[in-house]
Amino acid sequence: MMTIYMLWLRQLKRYIRSKPRIIASLGQPLLFLFGLGFGFGPVFQKAGQGNYIQFLAPGVIAMTILFTSIFSGIELIFDRQFGFLKEMLVAPVPRLLIMIGRTLGGATVALIQGLIVLLICLAAGFRVTTFSALPMAFIYMVLIAIMFTAMGTAIASVLSDFQGFQLIMNFLVMPIFFLSGALFPLTNLPIVLNVIATIDPLSYGVDGLRASLMGVSHFGSATDLAVLSALAAVLLIIGGRLFSRIQL
Amino acid sequence: MIKVEHLVKTFGEIEAVRDISFDVAQGEIFAFLGPNGAGKTTTIKMLTTLLRPTSGKLEIDGLDPVTQQHEVRKRFGIVFQDSSTDDELTAFENLDLHGALYHVAKRTRRERADMLLKLFELWDRRNDPVKQFSGGMKRRLEIARSLLHTPKIIFLDEPTLGLDPQTRNQLWTHVKHLNETERVTVFLTTHYMEEADRVAQRIAVIDHGRIVAQGTSAELKLQTNCETLEQAFLALTGSTIREESANAGADQMRNMARMFRRPR
């Protein structure tokens, strides 16, 4: 327990101390929210889909958590390059505990970022149907955060430097975001896109957030919850395995 | 305290360590000397549970690093060749986190941390982030950290690399002091012969994965008929420059990490 707590705390301290990182990571969601939200708003309205900000907000929150989580996981490469990984790996504690502590810490950071963006969305005119739904939305946010931090950790465990980072961003993280239904409704999509959206883990996160915050859902909230929980568990196991296998 | 018998490590076709044997007694300061790529770091990695030997027998305080990993890990502290602190955390936080990872109770942790910070003259800077530290301060912090959980052995892998003579001198004074007061066994590698000469009670010279000579500094000089340890070392290992083929990848990474880590 102590190990998990101390490594969780370490991630949090690192986050709070790097002010530029906090601000930088809020830039992108803001751009999407205001640029896309207000830019496409009129078209969306004309197409009879209602208020675009209302539609987009859960997507932008999910995006924030996705990017922060993946980055928190990938930060492991920093630990490797700056040497701190060795200190962790030679300690007399099971590696699984180290991985869990790091992952929970990274997920907490992503969750905080997600909550900040939720507040910004509310300030920008996003309206939640019932506030009693907020705890449920919180649970979805936690699941998204854990899932993608574990994914980032798993990836970082097999990469030894930042050469592969761009590749991961462009061929994994960006598609996960763009094809998840964060930006557009998943109804009446071309078949290929529909299949991709169905296997995209973030789709269920975005959908779950919409279900809880606004009461509209594509997959149904039971499916969302089940898929997210299962994936979070699977990715934690894979991440834990790969992390345990790291050789120096 | 450390017992090594017929230790072998091969990476594919490369034989990094070829059948070495040695003993280090409790409370002894033992130096491992050798040119680049001789197998020093590989041996340390095997002793510290980070690598499995291909064959041979290892013993740390009567325990086997291969089968009793955690027990062995509690018994040693290590200072790696490259820095391994978390630079965003403060000096104290680095020590505290280390203590927690080694299951040191909170109060003992604080007491040890305070004592070591004072001893290594880092007390005034204990709440500054490590990224503001100079190379010498970081090294001192790492040695302090390796001692926090009161280990029986510390491994120092070229701890003085890149430091100025004053800092090196001071560092070894601390290490000697701790060796005398806490009876901690010290296993060190270095490239600076005069350091080994001054600090170590016994020296093993390793080359091409084999131990080519073992004994006190005086014995090595006598054996080779040389006046200084440096001459003795060159007589034992030859004076050709070594290619570090076995470790090219690791070295490249090390250099990259160094680039990012310019002390300010």
- So what's the ipTM on this one? 0.88
Block mean pLDDT (10 aa), chain A, length 248: 94 91 87 90 87 93 95 90 91 94 96 94 88 89 97 91 83 94 90 94 95 90 95 96 87
- Provide mean pLDDT across the span B157-168: 87
Residue whose token pair is 């052995």? B153
Contact yes or no for B70 and A92 at CB 8 A: yes
- Contact list, A88 vs chain B (CB under 8 Å): 101
Residue B243 — pLDDT band, cuts 50, 70, 90?
low
Angle between helices B229-237 and B217-224 (to 10 degrees): 60
pLDDT band at B224 (very low <50, low <70, confident <90, very high): confident
Report which of B53, B23, B20 is spatially closest to residue B212, judged by C-alpha positions.
B20
DSSP code for B188: E
Sheet holding B76-79, edge to edge: B76-79, B153-157, B185-189, B29-33, B202-207, B210-215
Q: How far apart are CA B32 and CA B30, in angstroms?
A: 7
Average pLDDT (B201-219) is 91
CATH number of the domain encompassing residue B47: 3.40.50.300
Of B78, B88, B260, the CB nearest to A90: B78
pLDDT of residue B257: 55
CA A62 distance to own-chain centroid? 6
Domain count, chain B: 1
Cβ atoms of B56 and B64 closer than 8 Å: no
Using a CB–CB cutoff of 8 Å, tell me whether A21 touches chain B. Answer: no
Tens-place pLDDT, residues B53-98: 999 999 999 999 999 999 999 999 999 988 899 999 999 999 999 9
Beta strands, E only, B172-232: 185-189, 202-207, 210-215
Go through A64-82 and write b for each residue having 16 or more CB atoms within 10 A of its CB, e for each that does not: bbbbbbbbbbbbbbbbbbb
Instruction: Please give the pLDDT value at position A216.
Output: 87
User: The tokens 């430091």 sit on which residue?
Assistant: B163
Rg from Cα positions in chain A: 18
Tens digit of each residue's pLDDT (9 = 90 or more) over B141-150: 999 999 999 9
Distance from the Cα of residue B43 to its chain's centroid: 11
Domain count within chain A = 1
Residues of A in contact with B93 (CB under 8 A): 13
φ, ψ of residue B68 in degrees (nearest 5): -120, 50
For A82, the 3-state DSSP assignment is coil
Residue A149: domain span: 2-244
Residues facing B204 on adjacent strands: B32, B214
Q: What percent of chain B has pLDDT over 90?
A: 61
Residues in chain B closer than 8 A to A161 (CB atoms): 253, 256
Q: With contacts defined as CB-CB under 8 Å, which chain B residues touch A7?
A: 97
Residues 144-203 in A contacting B (C-alpha not used; CB under 8 Å): 160-161
Q: Which chain A residue lies closest to B96 (C-alpha atoms)?
A: A6
Mean pLDDT across chain B: 88
Query: CB–CB of A6 and B101 under 8 A?
Result: yes
Say what the pLDDT of residue B263 is. 44
For B68, the closest chain A residue by CA position comes to: A92
Confidence of residue B254 (pLDDT cuts 50, 70, 90): low
The helix/strand/coil state of B8 is strand
Which tokens belong to B61? Answer: 């305080």
B105 CB near a chain A CB, below 8 Å? no
> Domain range for residue B74?
2-260
State yes or no: pLDDT of B260 exceeds 60. Answer: no
Interchain CB distance below 8 Å, B103 and A86: no
Q: What does the pLDDT read at residue A235?
A: 96
- Name which of B208, B237, B242 is nearest B220 in CA terms: B237
Question: Which residues is B211 bridged to in the sheet?
Answer: B206
Are the C-beta atoms of B18 and B209 separated by less than 8 Å?
yes
Q: Which of B84, B92, B247 to mutate to test the interface with A (most CBs of A within 10 A)?
A: B84
Q: Note the pLDDT of residue A20.
A: 86
Torsion, Cα of B15, B16, B21, B23 (10° steps): -170
Instruction: Tell which of A17, A82, A95, A247 to mutate to test the B interface (max B CBs under 10 Å).
Output: A82
Decide: helix, strand or coil at residue A114. helix
Per-residue pLDDT, averaged over B22-37, amounts to: 92
Q: Is the pLDDT of residue B262 over 60?
A: no
Which two tokens mark B248?
A: 């090219």
Largest CA distance in chain B: 54
Q: How far apart are CA B249 and CA A151, in angstroms?
A: 26
Cα separations in angstroms, B20 against A28, A248, B13, B25: 57, 22, 18, 17
In total, chain B counts a number of residues equal to: 264
* Confidence at residue A130, expressed as pLDDT on a 0 to 100 scale: 77
How close is the nearest chain B Cα to the Cα of A161, in Å?
8
Distance to chain A for B134, nearest Cα, Å: 15
Cβ of residue B93 closer than 8 Å to a chain A Cβ: yes
DSSP, collapsed to helix, strand or coil, labels residue A191 as helix
Residue bearing tokens 């050798």: B34
Amino acid at residue number B34: G
pLDDT at B14: 87
Q: Which tens digit of pLDDT belongs to each residue from B191-203?
A: 888 889 899 999 9
Instruction: List chain A residues with CB under 8 Å of B96.
Output: 6
pLDDT band at B264 (very low <50, low <70, confident <90, very high): very low
